[in-house]
Amino acid sequence: MSVRTRTDLPHARRVVVKVGSSSISAESAGRIESIVDALASAQGAGVEVVLVSSGAIATAIPFLSLDGRPHDLATQQAAAAVGQNVLMWRYQTSLDRYGMLAGQVLLTAGDLENPAHRSNAKRAMERLLSLGILPIVNENDTVATHEIRFGDNDRLAALVAELIGAEALVLLSDIESLYTRPPGEPGAEPISRVAYGDDLHGFEFGSVVVNSVGTGGAATKVSAARLAAAAGVGTLVTSADLVSDALSGAEIGTWFDPNPEPVGAPSTGPVRTSADKLGG
């Protein structure tokens, strides 16, 4: 069925779920269990699920005795090579409880710009889903360069949702919903729903956050949600702790209505995330 509201999520045919580095690394690594619980439950109910997971570089930090997220590209690539292995092991170990298998899919921005690579990525994920395997997608940081990177996996998730014809996208964050301004500021109010085409110019979402484990922030989620919505994919932004409620159709988070007349997703070029305000 078509997913027009968050309450339709349990009945979706195909859903993409994205989780960020801070939600599954360091002291939060145990959250992988609850995320897998929710994905397994959805799959058991007949929903095809694709997971877009950040966290490779963040996962490698303690193994490489780094003080924080590396800034030079070579160390980022090395950390991604180590961390991706550990991250997939953690997911697979958790999936073993349900007799499920994970399939790793690593992409670069160039893959989604190249027609042949794009077609191959789509075909691979379609086949994984038909075999009952959970595709776990991440940016291929070991070969990506600063010039061609997606910039954040929120955008990658939106593009993957469009690529495979998903009916909904769930962007998991550290807070329950988006706010009209940074939630710690006076007057900040939660945003429950964004109708397609709504002008968000008056809302302050902040610039990209770069911390010790990853990149992202409210601005990147708004940009990604609007990208997905334009392609006809309804999008929910909520907390990683509420993933089960989200996939169950609970009235939580910030819902972006899908375009009733979908258009193709824009190119994978740089996303505007440095501005504090996003216009309509």
Residue located via tokens 């997911």: 91
Tokens of 217: 């922030």
Which one-letter DSSP state was computed for residue 190? B
DSSP string, 109-143: HHHHHSHHHHHHHHHHHHHHHHTT-EEEEEE-TTT
d(C-alpha 73, C-alpha 76), whole Å = 5
Residue located via tokens 């027009």: 4
d(C-alpha 249, C-alpha 126), whole Å = 25
d(C-alpha 32, C-alpha 20), whole Å = 11
- Helix (H), strand (E) counts: the chain: 9, 10
| Helix/strand/coil for 168 | strand
Q: Is 173 annotated as a binding residue?
A: yes
d(C-alpha 120, C-alpha 122), whole Å = 5
**In 164-239, which residue ranges form alpha helices assigned H by DSSP?**
218-230
Q: Which residues pair with residue 172 across a beta bridge?
A: 238
Q: Is 192 annotated as a binding residue?
A: no
Q: Which pairs count as long-range contacts for 123-130, CB under 8 Å and 24+ apart, including other chains?
A: 125/50, 125/160, 125/163, 125/164, 126/164, 128/103, 129/14, 129/48, 129/50, 129/164
Q: Is 18 annotated as a binding residue?
A: yes
What type of residue sits at position 162?
E
Q: Annotated binding site for ATP, which residues?
A: 18, 173-174
Q: Annotated binding site, which residues?
A: 18, 54, 141, 153, 173-174
Q: Annotated binding site for substrate, which residues?
A: 54, 141, 153
